[in-house]
Each structure stands twice: as C-alpha cells, then as structure tokens.
Amino acid sequence: MQQELTPKQQHLLDYLRRIIDRKGQAPSLRHAAADLGVSHAAVAQGIKALEAKGYIKREGRYSRTVYLLNRAREAAAPHRWREVPIIGQVTAGLPMYAQQEWDGTVVIDGAVFTGDNLFVLQVQGDSMRDAGILNDDLAICQPRQYAENGEIVVALVHNEEATVKRFFRRAKYIELRPENPDYPRMRYRFDEVLVQGKVVGIQRGPNGIK
C-alpha cells in the first residue's frame, strides 16, 4: 500500500504527472526547481521521498526516466512506453545489405521490453512465417553477439547481409534455419556469421512507426 504524502510531496507528484503526460519524460532538476520555485536539493529530496513511498520509480539514480506507479506499484500504462530506433531493414528471406542508418523510431511497452539498447528492424519476406514473423513486421531486438541453439536472431552474414533466422551451432558450421518450408536451411562457416541480436518481440503494422 502506498504511504500518505505530505502536501509538498503531493504538489511535486501532481507536477511530475502533468509534465510527463505532456512531454513524455520527467523534467530536469533545474527545470523542476524553476517551475516550482524551490531549490534543486528540495526537488531531489522530494523525488527520493516519492520513490520511497511507492509513487514513482527511476531507472537509475541520475536518470530522467521516471515511471509513475499505480497502487500495485506497477508502472501506470501511459507512463511505461519507451522509444527505440528502427535501424534500416532486415530480410527474412534472401539476405540484404545491413543498413546502419536510423529509419525512425517505434514506441514499445517498457514494462514488457526491459533490456538496454534495444533496436528494431523491419522484416521483409516470409521465410519466418511459421514462427509468426511476417512481412513488414517490426522485430524488437536485444543486442547480442552470441546465441543459444533454437533462438531467433539477427545475423550478419559475410559482414554485409543481415537476416532473421533460427540459430543452430553445429560441430563444423552455423545453421541459419527459416520457419517456412519454401526456403532452404543455410550453412555457413563460423567466421561467416556474426550474431547481432536476439529477437525478443514483434510489433505488427505501420502505426508504431514515427
């Protein structure tokens, strides 16, 4: 159960709620102090008290990422979102050249996808159809340079072609396996494949792209 707030703490919480609702992130200590007419130390102390009483949660001690919590101490739905970059496209069919440029951002649920440095790739092709990954899906990826057998990964082939496939390490080669019988399994030498990330989720449709 959340503890009762003092009038000053309630005033600070109401202020944070207004700013986060409007801008999507908490203000800096400097801006909050100026808006409220108090010192930086007073704002910092108030935020610490709100966190201790279960009304907010910070990602880190000095982070501006603040989540407003509900009575169950879970991030309130409007304040859980986070933006991650879409990095070009990746082919789930024949590999294509891996692009490094950002191609917009997508908003995802920060309570579901909690990893650091997540990135998103737009899938082209239907070779992963039977795993539920379809053409134009947005693959949410956790950066990695390793994989366990059976995991769906983003792999860089020959240092230039990125593809989404199921990963298997064999005794003498790497197998990248599609999830569509119309596509063949691909075998590569160990030095021909670099795992770039694990696919941890899929977002469907264009509405998430900004």
Q: Give strand pairing partners of 86.
A: 120
Kindly list the catalytic residues: 127, 165
d(CA 185, CA 197): 20
Tell which residue, 138, 170, 146, 165, has the closest CA to residue 154. 165
Q: Report which of 193, 206, 89, 86 is spatially closest to residue 147, judged by C-alpha positions.
A: 193
Find tokens 């240092």 and name the residue: 159
CA angle 194, 96, 84 (to 5 degrees): 70
